[in-house]
């Protein structure tokens, strides 16, 4: 039996808590800092996920046996390293290995060195050199802040003016602080995006189910990009042949490359891929579960997730396997505060969540930006607030159930996309 501390406060962390709490291996579950939904699964602890010293102190004082890290920032800040020094087992990469997400330049250089297919790129800390590269290569082109920028450091520039302004914003105006002290400028890739996840133990990787995210804020993939407005799993584009290709050309070479570089990779490896008629190319690596992709993965997972996470930490995944509900689709729709991803009002009241779930046993509502006031009312305190998640035999069925549940939720200040899963539904109806 394990005392477990999970870090984070979003829908991703709620779905992980929901899964871990159901494990017979879980004795006591804490979450720092958690949210109103997580509070039903775990004891919430008022420590920020980025506060490494306080988290280590808490883990020592409460005799925590295992720490699961949800977001990327504490991983890049070296939390796993500090926990290891304290003799506490954890799930996630070291700071050196977390550079796969923490530094886009590191990731691109690794791909170039080990011939992992990705977009053509250049790295720049000088604004004029960056602008010269853009003028040489033309638009559309992608400008990325090298470091972590809370999902706001990427500009897909359709015009020369937009690309040059992105360089100025990062390198001259300091829009992203230290994260933007260097930029990566890369070829624009078109096609269909797919998210692939693997649990890794430094030597072995178990490739999990695929998912597809919807980043744009409005229907029809219009408007600015967000942290994700919905997702579904499995992604129909990920057939057996493509899955085998991704494992052979991306997951295994990256595991070998990281070991060769002296920073073996443990934790979740999240490959964001673009697939076109020529095959897949790597858009980016992330060092944690995607959000909202994690929500649909946990919903489809038949196996107990906790032993898999522990096996990854212990380096024994070579003897492990995971089972999925292969005859089911899971789909999640993000409900966000009006105005997101721009300015939005905090403290608006939400009702009807329990009714949404009680009326359909195929529904689970994962919380992200929520808290309760002193009277017990549920309030929206973030941009992305709820993840209404449904199961079904088809994407269309899961989609219909999710939107029916959303219609039972009373939140006048919330909104959502109404076309999550559209690409897969189109495939089903052909």
Mean pLDDT of 157-166: 94
- 126-181: CATH topology is Dna Ligase; domain 1 (3.30.1490)
Under 8 Å between Cβ of 182 and 124: yes
Q: What is the pLDDT of residues 201-251, one digit of tens each?
A: 999 999 999 999 999 999 999 998 888 999 999 999 999 999 999 999 999
pTM assigned to the model:
0.95
What is the structure's pLDDT at 427?
A: 87
Sketch the domain layout of the chain as residue ranges.
2-95, 126-181, 192-319, 329-429
Under 8 Å between Cβ of 24 and 38: no
DSSP-derived pairing of the beta strands 43-44 and 348-350: unpaired
What is the structure's pLDDT at 319?
A: 86
Residue 192, Cβ density class (10 Å: 0-12 exposed, 13-18 middle, ≥19 buried): middle
| Half-sphere exposure for 27 (CA within 13 Å, toward CB) | 8
Q: Is 247 helix (H, G, I), strand (E, B) or coil?
A: helix
Residue 360, Cβ density class (10 Å: 0-12 exposed, 13-18 middle, ≥19 buried): middle
Mean pLDDT of 398-405: 96
Determine the Cα–Cα distance for residues 141 and 159; give it in Å rounded to an integer: 8
Please indicate whether the domains covering 126-181 and 192-319 agree at the CATH topology level. Answer: no
Q: Is 84 helix (H, G, I), strand (E, B) or coil?
A: helix
What is the structure's pLDDT at 195?
A: 95
Domain 329-429 has CATH 3.90.600.10: yes
The counts of H helices and E strands in the chain are: 15, 23
Under 8 Å between Cβ of 76 and 101: yes
Is residue 58 pLDDT above 80, yes or no?
yes
Task: Give the distance, in angstroms, between the CA of residue 287 and the centroid of all CA atoms in the same chain.
Answer: 9
- 192-319: CATH topology is D-amino Acid Aminotransferase; Chain A, domain 1 (3.30.470)
Q: What is the CATH architecture assignment of 2-95?
A: 3-Layer(aba) Sandwich (3.40)
Is residue 382 pLDDT above 80, yes or no?
yes
Q: How confident is the model at residue 153 (pLDDT cuts 50, 70, 90)?
A: confident
Q: How many other CB atoms sit within 10 Å of the CB of residue 238?
A: 21
Q: Which residue has the tokens 């996840």?
A: 197
Element at 66 (helix H, strand E): strand 66-69
57 pairs with which residues across the strands?
none
Under 8 Å between Cβ of 343 and 332: no
Under 8 Å between Cβ of 235 and 210: yes
């Amino acid at each position: 039996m394990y005392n477990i501390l999970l870090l984070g406060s979003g829908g991703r962390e709620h779905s992980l808590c929901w899964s871990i709490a159901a494990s017979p291996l879980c004795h006591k579950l804490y979450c720092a800092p958690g949210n109103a939904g997580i509070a039903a699964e775990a004891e919430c602890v008022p420590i920020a996920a980025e506060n490494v010293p306080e988290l280590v102190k808490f883990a020592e004082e409460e005799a925590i046996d295992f720490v699961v890290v949800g977001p990327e920032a504490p991983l890049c800040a070296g939390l796993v390293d500090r926990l290891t020094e304290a003799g506490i087992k954890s799930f996630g990469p070291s700071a050196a290995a977390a550079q796969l997400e923490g530094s886009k330049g590191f990731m691109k250089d690794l791909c170039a060195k080990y011939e992992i297919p990705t977009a053509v790129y250049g790295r720049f800390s000088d604004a004029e050199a960056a602008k010269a590269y853009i003028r040489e290569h033309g638009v559309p082109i992608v400008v990325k802040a090298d470091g972590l920028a809370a999902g706001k450091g990427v500009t897909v520039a359709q015009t020369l003016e937009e690309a040059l302004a992105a360089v100025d914003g990062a390198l001259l105006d300091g829009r992203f602080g230290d994260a933007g002290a260097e930029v990566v400028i890369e070829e624009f890739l078109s096609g269909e995006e797919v998210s692939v996840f693997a649990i890794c133990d430094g030597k072995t990787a178990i490739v999990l189910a695929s998912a597809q995210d919807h980043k744009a804020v409005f229907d029809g993939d219009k408007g600015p990009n967000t942290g994700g407005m919905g997702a579904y799993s499995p992604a129909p584009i990920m057939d057996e042949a493509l899955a085998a290709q991704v494992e052979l050309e991306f997951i295994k070479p990256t595991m070998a490359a990281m070991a060769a570089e002296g920073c073996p990779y443990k934790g979740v490896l999240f490959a964001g891929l673009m697939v076109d008629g020529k095959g897949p190319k790597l858009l980016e690596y992330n060092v944690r579960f995607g959000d909202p992709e994690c929500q649909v993965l946990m919903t489809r997972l038949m196996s107990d997730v906790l032993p898999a996470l522990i096996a990854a930490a212990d380096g024994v995944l070579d003897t492990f396997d995971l089972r999925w509900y292969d005859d089911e689709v899971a789909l999640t729709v993000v409900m966000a505060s009006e105005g997101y991803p721009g300015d939005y009002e905090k403290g608006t009241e939400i009702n009807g969540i329990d009714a949404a779930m009680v009326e359909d046993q195929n529904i689970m509502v994962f919380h992200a930006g929520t808290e309760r006031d002193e009277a017990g009312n549920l309030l929206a305190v973030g941009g992305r607030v709820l993840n209404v998640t449904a199961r079904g035999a088809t994407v269309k069925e899961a989609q219909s159930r999710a939107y029916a549940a959303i219609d039972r939720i009373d939140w006048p200040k919330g909104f959502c996309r109404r076309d999550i899963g559209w690409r897969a539904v189109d495939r089903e109806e052909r």
